[in-house]
Amino acid sequence: MKGTCPPQAVPGVIPASDGAGEVVAVGGEVTRFVLGDRVAGTYFPNRLDGRITPDLLDQPGATLDGVLTECARLGQAAAVRVPDRLTWEEAACLPCAGVTAWYSPTGGGPLAPGQTVLTLGAGAEVREAFSYYGSGAAFGKVVIRVS
């Protein structure tokens, strides 16, 4: 790591941002999850909505402890429920690769209905992201997948 990509990695932080797991404990104020829920972490856990700003750039595996561990502690706002239809491996791709695939056709300004989205050489995580977040057609777009 050369330290040229923000945010700067914190020495000693637990690595990896992408992962999924089962809720094994909850705090007294947790309302979104119960024991046994399948969850994945979020890539920017401090960003709940809106444009990203420098104060929201903390990332698991870089500036916050990541998920390459037997147990990870996440705030309830930093986790999302995983649909039962996804395998653990598919769910583990959602925090970074899946959100990237979703953000591409939706972020930085919406595409107009009828525009085309081309996913070229995209893997299973892109397919699952479109399935999980709604198909491109749900965004009013024609989706062409070439693998």
Percentage of the residues of the chain whose pLDDT score is greater than 90 = 34
- Enumerate long-range contacts of 103-112, CB under 8 Å, 24 or more apart: 105/136, 105/139, 105/141, 106/139, 110/139, 111/139, 111/140, 111/141, 112/140
Q: Are 140 and 114 in contact (CB under 8 A)?
A: yes
Confidence of residue 48 (pLDDT cuts 50, 70, 90): confident
pLDDT at 90 over 50: yes
pLDDT at 14 over 50: yes
Selection from 113, 128, 120 nearest residue 145 by Cα:
120
